[in-house]
Amino acid sequence: MEPILTWYREHRRDLPWRATSPWGVLVSEFMLQQTPVHRVLPQWQRWLELWPTPADLAAASLSDALREWGRLGYPRRAKRLYECAQVIVAEHGGAVPRSIEQLRKLPGIGEYTAAAISAFAFHQSEVVLDINIRRLYARCWAGVSEPKGSPNNSERMLARALIPVGDDGTWAAATMELGALICKARKPLCDQCPLSEICLWRATDYPLTSDEQRKVAKWHGSDRQCRGVIMHALRESELVSNAKLAALWSDSSQYEKAIASLLDDGLIEKRGKSYSLAR
């Protein structure tokens, strides 16, 4: 699909992980999961300054990784990334493995992340299906506003059929960029889209799917916010008493639940009557 590739060459963003090492790509993929680019950029740059190789991160402590993760959210990703670095050093000589099979065996790496690393770090032709690409395909070729659930076999078959012969990973980057910047979830810029003339969704007057009215989980007062408050306090101080942490949240039962889940996830440690980040 030359129109997409032409559009990408003219409009692609200058993102630093597009000109970095395989390790830099891997770090970016962990950080970009459920987190927008503008929040990832400063944290990614900070991590690559501190830990430019897997060996550098593996030699640090888990608490350092959790502290530097900052407010990116979902701190289990930081723990998985730390564990990933350790495995890369122990089993792959400190180099990010190239094969999909080896990538899938690393902590925190599933189908999408393995394909993305293979495409963006090693320039392989892979079926990469993040939400931006899936939305683009769903609208243009299936005529629906949003994809449903997880990718299915028919979706993968369509995606594979669309990849140009001789692709070096550029197709995945181009379709992802088009989905993120033009075929946006809300208020898509159809008049700027290189696929506007063949888009089935546009041709059928933008029908909405039943998923369109789905509720967005609230943040304020949620378990996630409570966990975030606790993690932020522990990033600020080496050791915080249970009493001081409990005072940060009004709902004591929700606080206890959050503490228990953070302990179960291996993100914090209990030290007497106090807590710290996992070491």
> Which residues are known to be catalytic?
29
Measure the CA dihedral 241/245/250/251, to 10°. Answer: -90
Q: Which tokens go with 116?
A: 């993305």
Cβ–Cβ < 8 Å for 177, 12: yes
Residues 6+ apart with CB under 8 A from 40: 28, 31, 32, 72
Q: How far apart (Å, rounded) are the C-alpha atoms in residues 40 and 201? A: 31
Q: Left, alpha or beta for 126 (phi > 0: left; psi -120 to 50: alpha)?
A: beta
Beta strands in the chain (DSSP E): 240-241, 268-271, 274-277
In this structure, what token pair is assigned to residue 145? 């506003």
CA distance 248 to 232: 11
Q: Which of 71, 11, 73, 23 is nearest to 49 (CA)?
A: 23
How far, in Å, CA of 152 to CA of 112, rounded? Answer: 13
Contact (Cβ atoms closer than 8 angstroms) between residue 155 and residue 134 = yes
